[in-house]
Structure 1
Amino acid sequence: MTLKKRGLAKGRGLDALLGSIQKEKLQLEVQALDHGQLKQIDVNLLRRGEYQPRRFIQENDLQELAASIKKHGVMQPIVIRPIADEEHPYEIIAGERRWRAAKLAGLTEIPALVRDLNDQVAIALALIENIQRQDLNPIDQALALQRFHDEFGLSHQEIADTVGKARTTVSNLLRLLTLAESVKDMMQQGQLDMGHARAILTLKAKEQIKVAELVIAKSLSVRQTEQLVRDLTAPKTEKAKTDVAPDLQQLTQRLAERFSADVKIDHNKQGKGKLVIHYHSLDELDGILNICLAD
């Protein structure tokens, strides 16, 4: 489903949205402490949140959570909001894994905090709640961050302010979305981590896939992956055999990692040359400039 972009400059404004988010988070905390405000909701009246960023949930994780729920019950209530749907009148804002595990455990009801939220705050709370969870894989985090740009038109810095992350972290996560689709799938399934992904980002799609498959097959470390990428990108010309080439290769890799961007260095025998840093958006350019101009 494609949603109309919700530009904040023409509506609430970023400060107003952040204020609403903080207010709702505080009220949710108060509700959670006051058990009298919890409601037991039929699990069949709930539907998956439209703004849930998590795309892949390990079946083993669900089974383990279901076993825990069978023994201890649902320890933390889910957050839902009422919607205009007769069959499923509630939408999950936070807690889809608990809901799915509760159904696996055979529960017919689940404790929930019911909040009447508008779309903007619902999107923001759902994304923030999931982004801040440690077990959300980097690709799902990146997709969630991208939603802030798509829905609200936020810049990388504004997204960082909203979710409480460093701007460079946001930019690095968003760059993962330029990976080949099959490589992103590998990350979502936990076969590759952030370090591996950053190492292969500068490769072309076909090379990314080959390297990713090799990393998984041989259980390569991040350091080994970085070396493999250096070997693949090493110049094949006679000029590569000169004394300066290994140093340039190492420097190129260091700069690529520092800027999280594709970097090229052309160096001639006269000691002259050029440094080229590639970027895919104005936000990425802004991030590169911030690094260059930092004190």
Structure 2
Amino acid sequence: MASKKRGLGRGLAALLGDSDGLDNGQNVRELPIEQIRPGRYQPRTQMDPARLAELAASIKAQGLVQPVVVRVVGDGYELIAGERRWRAAQQASLRQIPAIVRDVPDQAVVAMALIENIQREDLSALEEAMALKRLIEEFDLTHQAAAEAVGRSRAAVSNLLRLLELEAAVRDLVEHKQLEMGHARALLALSGHAQVALAREAAEKQWSVRETEAAVRRALSAPKAQPAARPDPNIDQLQRDLSERLAASVAIQHKRGGKGQLVIRYGSLDELDGILARIR
């Protein structure tokens, strides 16, 4: 999803009940990197090793310009925001990094971690969807309130949340960048096996979003197979009786309205003569 970075605005402050939702740059200190541990509320599930290595190289050359945000937990510190920078700083062999130390409760940590990641565009579409879902559930927010908190439109938030309705196999294709958001939105019109099968075909054939949308329309407009009529037990019994009496394969094709066909199969003229003799 293409979007620009946005300021936290009143969204985070509203969630935290604090007009100074984020630190204004004061209270920055150098902390030993080994005393900092990952946050419990980190919404990221994957980090691109190549991008992490690039960031580590930049930090090694220029230092860590932007502080991470932490809070005191036990005898150390827990990350609230900036885990990717912290990991890259470790790769760059930094012993200390600049950090803003905040005194915030768990609920505020959830909001800050989710919003920081969402607005930095560090999350995949599915990670962002899961982060938004958690933000909405943790704070009992409407889609509109969540959208205001993270600087997104309500429609964008609703579209992201719909990704969580995809089949697990399809979500996996999106997560591994074999399908894009546009593909995923189109596939939401299908469900179950049909959705998974078309998603895999789109990924394998590298369809564009428009090609995927067209395939979905074709799948939706295809005539559905009519369920087979249940056999009449009386017709079945009659068919078995005739087969035994004539010593031949008999099929009764009974239609609505009383019409139908009686089909007697034979393998040779001699067998046909035998059937005719039994009928006479």
- TM-score > 0.5 by shorter chain: yes
Hey, what does 1:263 align to over in structure 2? none
Is 1:73 the counterpart of 2:70 in the alignment? Answer: no
The one-letter amino acid paired with 2:187 is: I
Q: Percent identity?
A: 48
Higher helix share: 1
Q: Report deviation, 1:182.
A: 2.6
Tell me which structure has the larger Cα radius of gyration.
Answer: 2
Hey, what does 1:60 align to over in structure 2? 50
Cα distance, 1:237–1:176 mapped onto 2, change above 3 Å = closer
Q: Report deviation, 1:16.
A: 5.1
Is 1:174 the counterpart of 2:164 in the alignment? Answer: no
The one-letter amino acid paired with 1:127 is: L
Unaligned runs of 5+ in 2: 1-11, 226-280
Tell me, what secondary structure is at the counterpart of 1:134? Answer: coil
Aligned 8 A contact 2:57 2:92 in 1: yes
Aligned 8 A contact 2:52 2:88 in 1: yes
Aligned 8 A contact 2:25 2:100 in 1: no
Equivalent residue for 1:42, pick from 21, 32, 39: 32
Q: Provide TM-score, normalisation by structure 1.
A: 0.67
Report matched runs for 1:256-295 at 5 Å.
Answer: none
Hey, what does 1:3 align to over in structure 2? none
Q: Report deviation, 1:174.
A: 0.8
Tell me, what secondary structure is at the counterpart of 1:190? Answer: coil
Q: Report deviation, 1:211.
A: 2.4
Aligned 8 A contact 1:196 1:222 in 2: yes
The Cα offsets for residues 178-222 of structure 1, whole Å up to 9 and x where unpaired, read as 112232223223332211110101211323322222222222111
Cα distance, 1:235–1:190 mapped onto 2, change above 3 Å = closer
Report matched runs for 1:1-295 at 5 Å.
Answer: 17-20=15-18, 22-25=19-22, 28-31=23-26, 37-84=27-74, 86=75, 89-236=76-223
The Cα offsets for residues 7-43 of structure 1, whole Å up to 9 and x where unpaired, read as xxxxxxx9853542x4122xx2332xxxxx3222222
Q: Report deviation, 1:227.
A: 0.9
Q: Provide TM-score, normalisation by structure 2.
A: 0.70
The one-letter amino acid paired with 1:17 is: L
Cα distance, 1:108–1:213 mapped onto 2, change above 3 Å = farther
Aligned 8 A contact 1:199 1:229 in 2: yes
Distance of 2:97 and 2:138 partners within structure 1? 30
Deviating 4+ runs (over 4 angstroms): none
Hey, what does 1:290 align to over in structure 2? none
The Cα offsets for residues 150-172 of structure 1, whole Å up to 9 and x where unpaired, read as 21221212212222222121111
Unaligned runs of 5+ in 1: 1-13, 32-36, 239-295
Aligned 8 A contact 1:56 1:189 in 2: no
Cα distance, 1:64–1:146 mapped onto 2, change above 3 Å = same
Distance of 2:215 and 2:165 partners within structure 1? 20
Query: C-alpha root-mean-square deviation of aligned residues, in Å?
Result: 2.1
Tell me, what secondary structure is at the counterpart of 1:81? Answer: strand
